[in-house]
Amino acid sequence: MHRVDIAGHGCVFFRDGDGSVKALRDHCPHRGARLSDGRLRADGTGRREIECGYHGWRFDGAGRCTSIPQRLSSQGIPAGACAVTAEVQEAQGLVWLRETRNDDVAGSDAEPAADAPPLTVADVDAENVHCIDFAIDLPYGQDFLIENVLDYAHIHIAHDRSRGGGLRELAGPLEFELSEIRADGFETTLTRADGDDPRDTGGATAHAAFRAPGLVHYWTDYGDDRIAGLALYSTPLARDRCRLLYRAYTNFASFRDRVRPRFFEHGYQCHLLEEDMAVVMGQADNLARTRGPLARHWLPLRSSDRLVIAYREWLDQYGSDRPEFIGLRTRGQQSHEPPAARPIDRRSAHVHQCADCALAVRRVEFAERWSFRAAFLGLAAAVCTPMPTDCVLAGTAVVLAATGLGARALHRRLVGAGATS
């Protein structure tokens, strides 16, 4: 089972016996315990059920209560003893859900149309495409994350000389060919105001799109069979927390990129987002203390901020049902509430939800701990051992100590330098 908070509500996901994903509200109708604190059980027919860890009530993937250990044999299962479910779809390795039984279950505040498909990217399914997937929780609202990743102009400044970032000397004015702002989003072509492509791709055309409610998509048109792009999905976890699902894709990745361990690439992505984190948190805190629309407090430039302006205008038109929204000319009633203290570190933001990084951290911690212990024992043995055996033991101890120091350095790289609050 896997629990996730979406828009302040908990959901628990699991795979049924046939491999399909099921989603229930993480709330037992009996006494309100979290179903995710229970366990998965087989029902004897190949299906799986969640057993509440408090009193053993069991629920199948459709939310039906199938067993209550404490009920009398003469009693039936109460009609109201069912868990709230969500419609689930899988697409391109992502799980999408839409609440199906009441309006206070997890999901976005603005419900999509009943036939709205998942926001997929067609090029991801093309032949020989290599994807790098990454997820991280961030200590600010979804709107600030979307604004941040739509803001191409900050890359050369905030990420100067970082891997995957930019170069300060390349910062400059941009031109945007922006489409009409619609309920499903908008898109644009990016060029430098002097005619050069902002990504320096030798004449290729760079595109960006916002697809409501939470996808920012960048891609490059090379005019041939090459494919490259970046899909940035965002999910609101709570008012001041969101999750980024990052997917970079290309069909001309180098052999090194294809075989590099995932935790190395994840470390680079964590570093980039941590460079933005303090700035975006400070921006969110400042704007929560203001009154009136952003147009009263901002001095945006159309030569750099056009996509940010378009997104805030989209919120003006289509985000009014979100009490915390801040548009360019309007804002919600809860947008003035200061964010709560929200310490965050890489281990809690990323490592705990990434199987590759969590495994790497466990192995590195094991190597660090036992390398130092073995080095100490080797030195102790060398003191008590005559030559030349003592030299061999001492040399081995030095190698083990160096291994422990290397493991410690890798551990710091994996979990980050510390917490940001």
pLDDT in tens, 66-100: 999 999 988 899 989 999 998 899 999 999 987 55
Structure confidence at residue 36 as a pLDDT band (50, 70, 90): very high
What percent of the chain is modeled with pLDDT above 90? 67
pLDDT tens readout for residues 235-249: 998 888 999 999 999
pLDDT given for residue 421 in this prediction: 36
pLDDT reading at 101 higher than 50: no
Sequence-separated (6 or more) residues with CB below 8 Å from residue 237: 4, 5, 6, 7, 8, 137, 243
pLDDT reading at 231 higher than 50: yes
Structure confidence at residue 286 as a pLDDT band (50, 70, 90): very high
Place of tokens 């860890």: 53
pLDDT given for residue 5 in this prediction: 85
Please report how many Cα atoms fall inside a 13 Å half-sphere around the Cα of residue 351, on the Cβ side.
19
CATH superfamily of 2-99: Rieske [2Fe-2S] iron-sulphur domain (2.102.10.10)
Per DSSP, the three-state class of 275 is helix
pLDDT tens readout for residues 106-128: 444 444 445 678 999 999 999 99
Per DSSP, the three-state class of 12 is strand
Sequence-separated (6 or more) residues with CB below 8 Å from residue 133: 93, 245, 246, 247
Find the range with the poorest average confidence among 91-105, 151-165, 190-204: 190-204
pLDDT reading at 104 higher than 70: no
Report how far residue 11's alpha carbon sits from residue 105's, in angstroms, rounded to the nearest whole number.
8
Q: Which fold has domain 122-342?
A: Naphthalene 1,2-dioxygenase Alpha Subunit; Chain A, domain 1 (3.90.380)
pLDDT reading at 195 higher than 80: no
| pTM summary value | 0.87
Report how far residue 44's alpha carbon sits from residue 97's, in angstroms, rounded to the nearest whole number.
27
Report how far residue 326's alpha carbon sits from residue 316's, in angstroms, rounded to the nearest whole number.
8
Distance between the two ends of the chain, CA-based, in angstroms? 30
Q: Kindly report the average pLDDT of the chain as a whole number.
A: 89
Structure confidence at residue 362 as a pLDDT band (50, 70, 90): very high
Amino acid identity for residue 229 in this structure? G
Report how far residue 102's alpha carbon sits from residue 117's, in angstroms, rounded to the nearest whole number.
20
Average pLDDT over residues 28-52: 94
Place of tokens 């999408």: 96
Encoded tokens for 133? 């997937």
Average pLDDT over residues 48-75: 94
What are the distances in angstroms from CA 336 to CA 7, 83, 286, 326, 342? 18, 35, 10, 9, 17
Report how far residue 93's alpha carbon sits from residue 4's, in angstroms, rounded to the nearest whole number.
16
